[in-house]
Amino acid sequence: MDIQWYPGHMAKTKKMIKDNLKLVDVVLELTDARAPLSTHLPDINSLIGNKNSIMIMNKADLADKKITDMWLKYFKKQGIKAIAVNSLKKSELKNLYNLLGNVKKKTVLRSTRCMIIGIPNVGKSSLINQMAGRKSARTADIPGVTRNKMWLKVDDNLELLDTPGILWPKFEDKTTGIKLAILGSIKQELLDFEKLSLILIKYLLVNYPQALKDRYGVDSSTPAEILEKIAQNRGFLVEGGVFDINRSAKTLINEFRQGKLGRISLEKPEEKEGFWLEIANQDIV
């Protein structure tokens, strides 16, 4: 599996993060609650050193709640501060603000400053918008801070850097790549939609069979038959009356991403990669 990788771009982002690190008190690392380990930055420590950080498992509204609770316990055991949020809902950010209040150093009299980092599509922009609010005033330049750097004032005690650090996920194994592709965090071309949707269907048939039944009225068929049934049910046809399987595949992946299949997690703590590995090694990939 070849991965598009732009070393120059990445180096620039890393420099931006390192420069901003001096200005912030806390780094908020966003992950996707449906696969918090696969979307986590494995080299975060080398990037941020011993700077305070909080892992925000975002899109918690789309993840399996039981599994999210298992992740919270897991990270706590690892000494990682983690919190699950739905950043589309303002009221859900209270816990985050409480946590940020707790990490504030007593010696720092000014507002706590934080920045958001994470891989693509985990919700960085959504969280920034939600924290900043519509009326939020962009704060004036802070002494010692370059002019084009903008701080968003969240409240009297909290400021947020308006530019997130977008990092490319780093992964060695195929199974992580598959999860990232399903979640929309890596380029689609990595795996085509059809293959990706067949993999997702296999996963759902084993772990969330009811979700497929409820959404598409299908069960206990093979993944390929399920794609065909989706095309049939939705009237996806190409010329000559042939089912448009590619459209079914895209629909399934997009509807999964939007949570239309219900709350589904893609990984559990301390689970052997068994299932995904098996799929990854099958010829459909």
How far is residue 212's CA from residue 254's CA, in Å, rounded to a whole number?
Answer: 14
How far is residue 169's CA from residue 184's CA, in Å, rounded to a whole number?
Answer: 12
The residue type at 242: V
Does 120 interact with ligand GDP (rule: CB under 6 A)? yes
First-last CA distance in the chain: 10
Q: How far is the CB of 3 from ligand GDP (least distance, A)?
A: 18
Q: Is 58 annotated as a binding residue?
A: yes
233 contact, one of Mg ion, ligand GDP, none, CB 5-8 Å limit per kind: none
Per CB under 5 A, which of residues 73..132 are in contact with Mg ion? 124-125
62 contact, one of Mg ion, ligand GDP, none, CB 5-8 Å limit per kind: ligand GDP
Does 13 interact with ligand GDP (rule: CB under 6 A)? no
Structure tokens at 40: 């986590």
Does 36 interact with ligand GDP (rule: CB under 6 A)? no
Per CB under 6 A, which of residues 215..254 are in contact with ligand GDP? none
For ligand GDP, the binding residue among 88, 142, 145, 285 (CB under 6 A) is 88
Does 263 interact with ligand GDP (rule: CB under 6 A)? no
Give the binding range for ligand GDP (CB under 6 A) out of 59-67, 175-183, 196-204, 228-236: 59-67
How far is residue 8's CA from residue 3's CA, in Å, rounded to a whole number?
Answer: 15
What residue number has its CB nearest to ligand GDP? 123
User: Which residues, 6+ apart, have CB-to-CB distance to 162 below 8 Å?
Assistant: 128, 132, 138, 150, 151, 152
Structure tokens at 71: 């992740």
Does 163 interact with ligand GDP (rule: CB under 6 A)? no
How far is residue 167's CA from residue 180's CA, in Å, rounded to a whole number?
Answer: 13
Please report which helix (H) or strand (E) contains residue 165, including its range: strand 165-166
How far is residue 113's CA from residue 154's CA, in Å, rounded to a whole number?
Answer: 10
- DSSP lists the bridge partners of residue 82 as 55
Write out the binding residues. 58-61, 86-87, 121-126, 165
Write out the binding residues for GTP. 58-61, 86-87, 121-126, 165
Positions that interact with ligand GDP (CB under 6 A): 58-59, 61-62, 86-88, 118, 120-126, 259
Positions that interact with Mg ion (CB under 5 A): 124-125
